[in-house]
Amino acid sequence: DAGITQSPRHKVTETGTPVTLRCHQTENHRYMYWYRQDPGHGLRLIHYSYGVKDTDKGEVSDGYSVSRSKTEDFLLTLESATSSQTSVYFCATTPRDQYNEQFFGPGTRLTVL
């Protein structure tokens, strides 16, 4: 695997609280992505980054924000968690060229009560 870690791996939180998930990579990959995975929906892109401080929205970005202050770290923040954001969150990276494959982290299972 491409040296991608996610923290925390599991989290239970309450509705209305802010939550930050961290993705850390050691491969100096340019592109980083946040996906959520839900039964019947596959993997849906939340936000992605194409460089430090360069980010853009994916298809399900409402209620989420991201930041990338260093090449190796990509943070996903749920500003005010809702039960509909209960999901498994995956971080992924791609090296220099956008056409390369994506390498996925181990995932974070988030439960919002």
Partner 1 sequence: GQQVMQIPQYQHVQEGEDFTTYCNSSTTLSNIQWYKQRPGGHPVFLIQLVKSGEVKKQKRLTFQFGEAKKNSSLHITATQTTDVGTYFCAGRGDSGGYQKVTFGTGTKLQVIP
> Which residues between 7 and 36 bind partner 1 (CB under 8 A)?
35
Q: How far is the CB of 34 from partner 1 (least distance, A)?
A: 12
Taking alpha carbons only, the member of 63, 69, 55 closest to residue 89 is 63
> Which residues between 33 and 72 bind partner 1 (CB under 8 A)?
35, 40-45, 48, 50, 58-59
3-state secondary structure 80-101: CCCHHHCEEEEEEEECCCCCCC
Cβ-based nearer residue to partner 1, 40 or 62: 40
C-beta atoms surrounding 5 within 10 Å: 14
Given the rule CB under 8 A, which of 8-16, 60-68, 75-83, 101-109 is the region that contacts partner 1?
101-109
3-state secondary structure of 106: coil
One of 20, 61, 77, 102 touching partner 1 (CB under 8 A): 102
Given the rule CB under 8 A, which of 8-16, 61-69, 76-84, 90-98 is the region that contacts partner 1?
90-98
- The yes or no reply on residue 96 touching partner 1 (CB under 8 A) is no
Residues 6 or more apart from 26 whose CB is under 8 A from it? 3, 4, 72
3-state secondary structure of 74: strand
